[in-house]
Amino acid sequence: MEQKKEFAAFLLASLQRVEKRYRVSVNFHDVSQAFFCNPLLQKGLMPYGLHDNSFCAEVKKNDQCLKTCSLGKVRIAKKCQKRKRYFYGACYLGLEELIFPIFFHEKLLAFLCVGEFCTDEEQSLFMLRRYCSQQKLEYEKLKQKREQVVVP
């Protein structure tokens, strides 16, 4: 039991350290439910379960956007399973992240998303503008919130 407590404390401290040191957002997606079923980890990992920035929170108020985002997580899990290593990707709104899969005996347990970055501002804003038009969202409001979360 003591080892589990130490592991939980180490994992949570590591996530916090990465966020603080590199000024990024870290999200933890428990694909297998192996982590969230552990009471020692569940409470500590819960804040890492969603992108908790103002941009994503605003976007996810729209049901269709929330569904699209959730489908994106399914696609990421499939890509993790196929590639079996870290990769760089972008969401449907042009925000980019490093994705780190976590495996145990070839089984995908979880993945970490570290970001948010933007390497092509023009393309990213085009994606945001197009989606805002399709979903009748306020482009300027989301553009401003997006600028607050993108790591320079």
| pLDDT over 70 at 15, yes or no | yes
pLDDT in tens, 16-70: 999 999 999 999 999 998 888 888 788 888 888 877 788 998 998 999 999 999 9
**Spatial distance between the Cα atoms of 115 and 31, rounded to a whole number of angstroms:** 19
Burial class of residue 45 (count of CB atoms within 10 Å of its CB; 0-12, 13-18, 19+): buried
Report d(CA 84, CA 100) in Å as an integer.
9
Per-residue pLDDT, 116: 93
Q: Are 117 and 95 in contact (CB under 8 A)?
A: yes
Average pLDDT over residues 120-139: 95
Residue 13: pLDDT band with limits 50, 70, 90? very high
Is residue 137 pLDDT above 70, yes or no? yes
In percent, the amount of the chain with pLDDT more than 90 equals: 74
pLDDT at site 74: 95
Compute the mean pLDDT over every residue in the chain, rounded to the nearest whole number.
Answer: 91
Residue 51 pLDDT: 72
- At residue 46, the pLDDT reads 84
Q: Which residues pair with 88 in a beta bridge?
A: 98
pLDDT > 70: percent of the chain: 99
| Per-residue confidence (pLDDT) for residue 1, from 0 to 100 | 63
